[in-house]
Structure 1
């Protein structure tokens, strides 16, 4: 069962009286329990008061509030999360907002389930006051795209989880056949409360017009409310009171029979979101006429699943009803489409989406005071001093990750056109390329137009490195790749690009319930990190609670030290090469030193291909989840794994293409070369950059609900460990860094044939001089051992492996305990 064992406090109204939100609360509780959850129902419309007291609106609320607060406070001690049903107006301030605050004070995640067609008006009245409590929610879900848009307008991310329809109760009558022409006596049903918002007066006026054509027609108003007397007077004045039945409040269990006895359901509302009554009518096989307000156009397709009319227009309502009564084939088509549409709102479709949000908010960071200080103040200050805008970008990325595919593609297209215009005007390489190929950035109308440009390869940048610099570049700094494809690359990055990559990594970190400021152990090997640890960097790392463990020289003695450090440091997250983490895991296991009780929540791995056996070994050794990351200094932070297993592309900043041998895009699911366009690289553009890796785009969305596209698989980088004469195991990059920085080296391969012989294949232009050869030999022997024979062979080309993959470090030496 999908919710087995989960303890949920469900806060919301319950019948009586029956209503959309009350019915949803009761139904949700029932469905969650059927699927194994332990649900504590906290009814906001209880306790029941004497009738005379319950009629005094504000006094009623004032008397119920203390009881509501006490029940919330007590229940918070016994549940895993809160699910809070919310609406606009006083119910927000007196019922939903207190629940959010108490959940926050008690450290419990809270899912806010907001509904109500008047949300836009409610926000507009007091946006800051509403946001003050809204920020306490761990996540916000709404039943429609309309409401999601309202929240987005005010800077809040809301996820769509539609209302649940009980398809076992709301179903077409078993005797139902295709609708026959109505000779007389059609029944029109309005199933909304008798309140001004639902404009039952227009329904009565529309019915009066219908009755002129169908004298035996009947109108049923199913609902209670303060307008009943006024509506009766209106019906009397129109001469139709004898044909109008006020059914009063109808229990939800009795509604299916009422729908099935009707010929048309009319929804005359002036403001609406996702009315249950409309979906219930569709599920019962009844055609619907509705006003086109609020979220209705997103819920119903005019002329396909229902007929939509303007609000407050009785004549249009009557005309739509008459068209259904007079045209049975058209009516039957609407009924069939409505039945199919209603079927998508069943619990089997909604439950997984709700479960994903429950998992997400339970895994979300709930940091201690120090981590909050680092994440909210110290690290953003550090970034601001460096001229980075990563904190601001993070806030935007955490909203945009939930955009739809269409929204993301529109955003990508706008940024792509801006990048291409800038490159054509200010970057010498692209100015010449566009002129030579006749490419006009202004003619880019869709993302597919990007394929009109040639691929950018490492050799193109290496041969014209400075011509990629924009005339308007800000804060350019030199960088180099690790040479994981066998072709090291030197290039430049500006502060804008670095800011975007930091924000993307930060966002992915938070997916796993950890944040900057949590204790972190980093197993890495870049000279940038290892050789530049000056006092300022050491102070920064200490403040951010990051400790660096060099992944190059991993001798048994050093591994002993690493294990001691980890057991003492007790990091909340790990970051490093999967092969390095496996080396530590193997070493700790051989020494019978368990690492699975340190409190590590997640191990972030990158820079190498992650194999299934490595994932299993790391997870078992450290007792944590393993999150794969894919990217590089050149291509950027391309993709990262979420807790649901999806490898999400940073689509706001990066366009990923999978191309064939001719550079033409392949469809999702097809394997080909990975090509990226980084949209934040105006200072030094990477447009259609061939990463040298192979992969495929995903074909299905991720269960987490994020709109970010997926990488289905990644083939490519693989790194071996090397073994020194004294038995020290070291990461292959220890030798890569010796050759990759040499300007004449175009590609390389390092082959450790035995403990006493290592061969280095180099493609060089110009050829190496004696001094450089000596420097390479000296550097290799310093790491492998002075007695090791280093053979340097300059070749014209380095062939790939038989599998087609490129291994830039190969060791034939068997290592004890190696992964």
Structure 2
């Protein structure tokens, strides 16, 4: 297979955080694949139309990659996959949605139409692979999200300061309000603590977080969307990366934080415990448990040994997601 069509949300030019279509696609191009992309339309209805039209137009493609999510964008995967079936094109759903397991139960017939008829299903998460396998989907291949490690310079931190970094789109599914509440509680013990929150607005959560910070008189640095280079630069001013999400699959932002030498404290949801080992590579706490996250942060700040162990172990783990290694799995199914 040399000529590929990649279906997904290519929306970074509209201020949205780049998704896999804008990271995996260029990496595959570096390996010699010819790739056409769809779609960058901001309007969801027009985006679906553009995706369907592009599938028809490039029906001679060797295969179609389809970024597959669990919420509204799930229907893009349904529509394009069924057109691929009609046109007899091989298609490969890439399973991103942290709540796709719920879809398997809520829409079993539609899910079978998509995933039982695919050439392969690629899961970046062992959690989702297990969920699919349990329900009888055996054609699921685990290929983790990848990064180019040389783009993430490791900073050898000696001891943790109470300086926190949060990087994600401001969406309720990622629970940014928890980060605000955690920071408020942490400052009671460490008045000089800092919090930088990086990411674009998605559903009103940024406005809500800013208002909450104002109500609590917190000096949170909301940066908005930053380029990868810019947020890596400001990461040097922090020592701990906090992940507050309600649902998750295999967030690249955590891999990036691990690569940069930040200690990770995360909610223990979805694919996170399949990705990180508690007390070895990260500290994991229950969903939305502000008190436990604050306690975890305090333990990192107070224990240099724990902090150093987590940072070194997580950097070593991040090396497993280097593109040079991950690409071999992609080559196996595309060539």
User: Which 5+ residue runs of structure 2 have no aligned equivalent?
Assistant: none
The reply on whether 1:171 has 2:153 as its aligned counterpart is yes
1:729 match: none
**Matched-pair contact (CA < 8 Å) for 2:156–2:261:** no
The reply on whether 1:227 has 2:234 as its aligned counterpart is no
2:84 match: 103
- Offset, 1:198: 1.1
SS in 1 for 2:136: coil
TM alignment of 1:19-30, pairs within 5 A: 19=17, 22-30=18-26
2:302 match: 326
SS in 2 for 1:90: coil
What is the CA deviation profile of residues 478-498 of structure 1, one whole-angstrom value per residue up to 9, with x for unaligned ones?
xxxxxxxxxxxxxxxxxxxxx
- Offset, 1:286: 0.5
2:95 match: 114
SS in 2 for 1:250: coil
- Offset, 1:254: 2.6
- Offset, 1:270: 0.9
**Matched-pair contact (CA < 8 Å) for 1:260–1:285:** no
TM alignment of 1:132-147, pairs within 5 A: 132-147=113-128
TM alignment of 1:754-773, pairs within 5 A: none
The reply on whether 1:356 has 2:332 as its aligned counterpart is yes
1:622 match: none
1:47 match: 41
1:125 match: 106
**Matched-pair contact (CA < 8 Å) for 1:145–1:295:** yes
TM alignment of 1:796-811, pairs within 5 A: none
1:154 match: 135
What is the CA deviation profile of residues 715-768 of structure 1, one whole-angstrom value per residue up to 9, with x for unaligned ones?
xxxxxxxxxxxxxxxxxxxxxxxxxxxxxxxxxxxxxxxxxxxxxxxxxxxxxx
- Offset, 1:68: 2.1
2:50 match: 67
SS in 1 for 2:36: strand
What is the CA deviation profile of residues 275-307 of structure 1, one whole-angstrom value per residue up to 9, with x for unaligned ones?
111110001111000010111001000111110
SS in 2 for 1:190: strand
Q: Pick from 31, 34, 39 the counterpart of residue 38 of structure 1.
A: 34
Cα 1:67–1:144 change in 2 (3 A) is closer
- Offset, 1:178: 4.0
**Matched-pair contact (CA < 8 Å) for 2:92–2:118:** yes
**Matched-pair contact (CA < 8 Å) for 1:191–1:222:** yes
- Offset, 1:181: 5.5
SS in 1 for 2:127: helix
**Matched-pair contact (CA < 8 Å) for 1:187–1:218:** yes
1:180 match: 159
Cα 1:13–1:63 change in 2 (3 A) is closer
Q: Structure 1 CA distance, aligned partners of 2:58 and 2:85? A: 13
**Matched-pair contact (CA < 8 Å) for 2:7–2:51:** no
Q: Structure 2 CA distance, aligned partners of 1:181 and 1:197? A: 28
SS in 2 for 1:116: coil
1:76 match: 59
Q: Structure 2 CA distance, aligned partners of 1:304 and 1:296? A: 13
What is the CA deviation profile of residues 513-563 of structure 1, one whole-angstrom value per residue up to 9, with x for unaligned ones?
xxxxxxxxxxxxxxxxxxxxxxxxxxxxxxxxxxxxxxxxxxxxxxxxxxx
Q: Pick from 271, 292, 313 the counterpart of residue 337 of structure 1.
A: 313
Q: Structure 1 CA distance, aligned partners of 2:115 and 2:159? A: 51
**Matched-pair contact (CA < 8 Å) for 1:169–1:256:** no
TM alignment of 1:548-697, pairs within 5 A: none
TM alignment of 1:367-386, pairs within 5 A: none
2:239 match: 263
What is the CA deviation profile of residues 433-477 of structure 1, one whole-angstrom value per residue up to 9, with x for unaligned ones?
xxxxxxxxxxxxxxxxxxxxxxxxxxxxxxxxxxxxxxxxxxxxx
Q: Structure 2 CA distance, aligned partners of 1:23 and 1:254? A: 17
More helix by share: 2
Q: Structure 1 CA distance, aligned partners of 2:176 and 2:47? A: 31
**Matched-pair contact (CA < 8 Å) for 1:188–1:264:** yes
What is the CA deviation profile of residues 246-284 of structure 1, one whole-angstrom value per residue up to 9, with x for unaligned ones?
111222343322333321100011111111111100011
**Matched-pair contact (CA < 8 Å) for 2:241–2:262:** yes
SS in 2 for 1:76: coil
Q: Structure 2 CA distance, aligned partners of 1:76 and 1:261? A: 49
**Matched-pair contact (CA < 8 Å) for 1:189–1:262:** yes
Q: Structure 1 CA distance, aligned partners of 2:277 and 2:196? A: 25
- Offset, 1:119: 1.2
What is the CA deviation profile of residues 225-261 of structure 1, one whole-angstrom value per residue up to 9, with x for unaligned ones?
3112222222233332xx2111112223433223333
SS in 2 for 1:232: helix
**Matched-pair contact (CA < 8 Å) for 2:78–2:110:** no
1:305 match: 281
What is the CA deviation profile of residues 362-386 of structure 1, one whole-angstrom value per residue up to 9, with x for unaligned ones?
xxxxxxxxxxxxxxxxxxxxxxxxx
Cα 1:42–1:67 change in 2 (3 A) is closer
Which range is displaced more, 292-301 or 323-332? 323-332
User: Which 5+ residue runs of structure 1 have no aligned equivalent?
Assistant: 49-59, 360-819
SS in 1 for 2:299: helix
Q: Pick from 1, 6, 10 the counterpart of residue 10 of structure 1.
A: 6
Larger Rg: 1
- Offset, 1:153: 2.8
1:374 match: none
1:723 match: none
2:251 match: 275
The reply on whether 1:192 has 2:168 as its aligned counterpart is yes
Q: Structure 1 CA distance, aligned partners of 2:239 and 2:231? A: 14
**Matched-pair contact (CA < 8 Å) for 2:20–2:67:** no
TM-score of the pair, normalised by structure 2: 0.93
Cα 1:146–1:113 change in 2 (3 A) is same
The reply on whether 1:249 has 2:211 as its aligned counterpart is no
